[in-house]
Structure 1
């Protein structure tokens, strides 16, 4: 049950005990006294880590290793578990081997490049020989020393040799370009497989504590299943979510002090500050949520039950015992006689009324 608490400091309770019921010669009275009072709004809820994440798998497979246990502190990026990536590892090895072969072929002075270069050089030598023969026979033909058929034959041989040389150069360039293209493809494929393999290494996305471990080595994880949970990790800071009756919404503000009690530590009390008032009412329960930042023990279980008293107002008030108030007036004792005195009272604080008008500190009011 959510409620509004009207609180007095302990020291004030002690002072009010001294406030008296002082007994004069014939009169029993109390002294009006100004003291500090607090207005507290009660709420109940739970504690949660400021940063709370459930670590899930991005891929399906068997859990190979688990490196942490519940309660362990982990850094952001720390490895929590390892999943079996056997097929991917085979693919990475194959891509690496093919990539090494291509790079060996592209290496200057490699047997493969030498064979291509030798083919180009051989075609060049053949072309040069054909060219010299053609030029010599061209001169002889111009001098009428050889028949036209012999001249035409040498020209045809030169043209064929030139074309063969061009084909050899083109084949050399095509082979080099093909190898370089294959190198790029294999490098991209290997990098893709390596990135995919990284998904089999489960890392913590935040710094904090392992709150819950859901898996053990050998478990199979289906990454599209709703049961895809490996760990929950929470940061060292805490938030408390309190549910408060909607009737107190206008009294709640960010920055207000909150006194907290945690079921897990019944002998201790804690302090927090409101950092957000959720301005939306749960219609079925007529409650609003108030979020509080708090310093709670690091080993507190996530989701622990918490009760809170939100200090919505603190002020000084003139107080008299409630029993001295008589439907709009009090009997004021001036040391000689009783004087019926109208008073205006405000909020009631336990056994005391706040006096808004009609009395001053030190006035003596008659008690029944």
Structure 2
């Protein structure tokens, strides 16, 4: 893939000539001119939507309806599809019914609480009666009017009724606490299920076009499966990912201009700008990735093949035909004779050499 281009823009325009080959006084010479030159690095890759997502289901179920088709433009949060909600609706209904029952029992004067309160009240009355009986027999026993066994029997009877009252009081309090706790649990469960139900409406996470749909109504989606794909969505903006030979990594910079050719539009050229150079080499292929922001057609298919020429250098240079340079010298024509002039040359641009020192624009050099 190692492709480095030297672009001489003036040679690409009809009628514009860098060197004028002139034959006069039996001498062929070229007029040296200063021109703009560009160094271009080639890369190939593909175009992808600036924001690209594959929409997946967060819950399992059967696809009930699709609300969009391929090519549609969708806004962020717009519904794309609906998964059947019969199962979760049944769960929400069951929890709601249990919650209503608990709240009904917690209402003041409910039959449930009334039964607990009546049992507690009866136990309290029984305990108080046993207490009065014990107090009376305690006085009689102290006066020696009743035997000890009768007194002890009353004492035991009171203690039993007292424990029963405490038990029923705790039962009443535990029942209230348990109902309130169950109410909180059921309320949280209903809220969880209601929120979970929102996931059965599949929404677009970004604004963009529906690139592809992967499901049809009636399909079953397992949200834990690797096949969990519903739609792909791409935003309006484009990125181009170009692969470039690693030997040119040192020449690449953010902000460099890129000329792009897209297979889908072979007769058009598009312009972009480098916004990121991935500084990691694919060791198997010896390539690096360059990301380019570009203005490409809105209806371009995602993943389209793209070739690019990255402008890594642009400057003005004095050029001479490579054929006139001989071991550090050129023959300069001053209008009358040949003069051997030492020159220092730089980079080669195709059939031309850059002159660093020794010549000026307008000089005439002998063409062999």
Give the TM-score, by structure 1 length. Answer: 0.87
Cα drift, residue 44 of structure 1: 1.3
Determine whether 1:272 maps to 2:273.
yes
Alignment of 1:129-278 (within 5 A): 129-146=129-146, 148-194=148-194, 196-265=196-265, 266-278=267-279
Cα drift, residue 139 of structure 1: 2.9
Determine whether 1:33 maps to 2:33.
yes
What secondary structure sits across from 1:301 in the alignment? Answer: coil
Alignment of 1:1-368 (within 5 A): 2-10=2-10, 17=17, 19-22=19-22, 24=24, 27-146=27-146, 148-194=148-194, 196-265=196-265, 266-283=267-284, 285-326=285-326, 328-368=328-368
Inter-partner Cα distance in structure 1 for 2:259 and 2:55: 33
Unaligned runs of 5+ residues in structure 2 are none
What secondary structure sits across from 2:113 in the alignment? Answer: helix
Inter-partner Cα distance in structure 1 for 2:304 and 2:246: 23
- The answer on whether the counterparts of 2:75 and 2:206 sit within 8 Å (CA) in structure 1 is yes
What secondary structure sits across from 1:362 in the alignment? Answer: coil
Cα drift, residue 144 of structure 1: 4.3
Inter-partner Cα distance in structure 2 for 1:170 and 1:281: 73
Cα drift, residue 224 of structure 1: 4.6
Inter-partner Cα distance in structure 2 for 1:245 and 1:158: 99
Cα drift, residue 16 of structure 1: 5.2
Q: Deviations over 1:9-56 (max 9, x none)?
A: 349957952653355565443321222211001111101123322222
- The answer on whether the counterparts of 1:2 and 1:44 sit within 8 Å (CA) in structure 2 is no
Inter-partner Cα distance in structure 2 for 1:18 and 1:46: 36
Inter-partner Cα distance in structure 2 for 1:360 and 1:271: 35
Worse overlay, 5-14 or 287-296: 5-14
Worse overlay, 9-18 or 36-45: 9-18
Inter-partner Cα distance in structure 1 for 2:11 and 2:21: 18
Inter-partner Cα distance in structure 2 for 1:324 and 1:13: 24
Cα drift, residue 218 of structure 1: 1.2
Inter-partner Cα distance in structure 2 for 1:88 and 1:116: 36
Unaligned runs of 5+ residues in structure 1 are none
Cα drift, residue 111 of structure 1: 2.5
Worse overlay, 297-306 or 52-61: 52-61
Inter-partner Cα distance in structure 2 for 1:165 and 1:225: 59
Inter-partner Cα distance in structure 1 for 2:315 and 2:108: 88
Inter-partner Cα distance in structure 2 for 1:211 and 1:352: 48
Worse overlay, 76-85 or 192-201: 192-201
CA RMSD of aligned residues (A): 2.9
Cα drift, residue 314 of structure 1: 1.6
What secondary structure sits across from 1:280 in the alignment? Answer: strand
What secondary structure sits across from 2:227 in the alignment? Answer: coil
What secondary structure sits across from 1:132 in the alignment? Answer: helix
What secondary structure sits across from 2:281 in the alignment? Answer: coil
- The answer on whether the counterparts of 1:117 and 1:172 sit within 8 Å (CA) in structure 2 is yes
Inter-partner Cα distance in structure 2 for 1:306 and 1:140: 113
- The answer on whether the counterparts of 2:10 and 2:35 sit within 8 Å (CA) in structure 1 is no
Q: Deviations over 1:338-360 (max 9, x none)?
A: 22323333333344321123212
Inter-partner Cα distance in structure 1 for 2:90 and 2:8: 73
Inter-partner Cα distance in structure 1 for 2:18 and 2:145: 147
What secondary structure sits across from 1:279 in the alignment? Answer: strand
Inter-partner Cα distance in structure 2 for 1:328 and 1:150: 139
- The answer on whether the counterparts of 1:64 and 1:83 sit within 8 Å (CA) in structure 2 is yes
Q: Deviations over 1:240-275 (max 9, x none)?
A: 111223332332233322121222333242222141
